[in-house]
Structure 1
Amino acid sequence: MRQASGTLVVDTHGQGLVEFTDAVLEWVADAGVSEGLLTLFCRHTSASLLIQENAAREVRADIQDYFATIAPEDPARYRHDDEGPDDMPAHLRVALTAVQLSIPVRDGRPVLGTWQGIYLFEHRRRPHRREVAVHVIGT
């Protein structure tokens, strides 16, 4: 049994989905595990992780629009606004998505579907440098 752990840094440009599939693929290849389980964990409360289609850009735009509708930036709705009007909506959007993903590894690669990509979903308006803890265990 082998395992490896580390951190991937994802720079964002404000709200939106940032694909970092290639960084994950490279990290797993370097870890040298051919069969096992990969865990990704976003170390933030206002950004989350998604596996989503990576071919059509419209998918990302539609997802962002949907989350803006169900957790809008409306100061009259929320008590928590310590960091501005996008603060509480960001926390709600994280609560509706995930901060952790588990992906099987086979033949030294995460087992993703043809059109699946790994995304960090930035829920704040300003750019951030986000950390994703990575761990793989297997043979």
Structure 2
Amino acid sequence: MKQQVGKLSVKTQGQGLTMITADLSSWILRSAINTGLLTIWCKHTSASLTVQENTDISVRSDILNYFNDLVPENRSYQHTDEGSDDMPAHLKTMLTETSLSIPVIDRKLSLGPWQAVYLFEHRKRPHIRELVLHVMGN
């Protein structure tokens, strides 16, 4: 069994879902793994990962609107050190995922035809988010 570790930096445009499927697929192609399991780890407490619809952009805006309604910014949170969107971002991360595991088959991510992998930025301003990638297999 072989394994490989890497990093992926993702520049976000502020709140929303940034598709990272192509970057992950390119990294897998450069790895020596044909069949295995990719683990993606988000090193942040105000961003997360998700697998979601990849064609209709309105799905992404509906998801963003839903999370903003679910965790409103205009509450009296005690933690406001980095701005009014900071604590809501932490809560949104708790409700989502900070890691994903995706099977790799024939050097490709085993995603469905309408699926893509996204970094879900929960802060209003742009950030550069760092992900750790680990693939293990043959």
If the length of structure 1 is used for normalisation, what is the TM-score?
0.98
Distance 1:104 1:21 in 2: 13
Residue segments in structure 1 that go unaligned for 5+ positions in a row: none
Aligned position for 2:62 = 62
2:123 corresponding residue in structure 1: 124
C-alpha deviation, 1:75, in angstroms: 4.1
Rounded Cα–Cα distance in structure 2 between residues aligned with 1:17 and 1:32: 29
SS in 2 for 1:84: coil
Where structure 2 has 5 or more consecutive residues not aligned to the other structure, the ranges are none
What stretches of structure 1 move > 6 A for 4+ residues in a row? none
The separation in 2 between residues aligned to 1:103 and 1:118, in whole angstroms, is 10
Aligned length: 138
**Quick one: distance in 2 between partners of 1:54 and 1:89?**
25
Matches within 5 A, 1:9-48: 9-48=9-48
Cα distance in 2 for partners of 1:59, 1:42 equals 22
Distance 1:10 1:102 in 2: 18
| 1:107 has 2:106 as partner | yes
Asked if structure 2 preserves the Cα contact closer than 8 Å seen for 1:13 and 1:127, the reply is yes
Give the Å deviation of 1:5. 0.5
Please give the root-mean-square deviation of Cα atoms over the aligned residues, in Å: 0.6
User: What percent identity do the matched residue pairs reach?
Assistant: 52
Superposition TM-score, scaled by structure 2 size: 0.98
Quick one: which amino acid aligns to residue 136 of structure 2? Answer: I
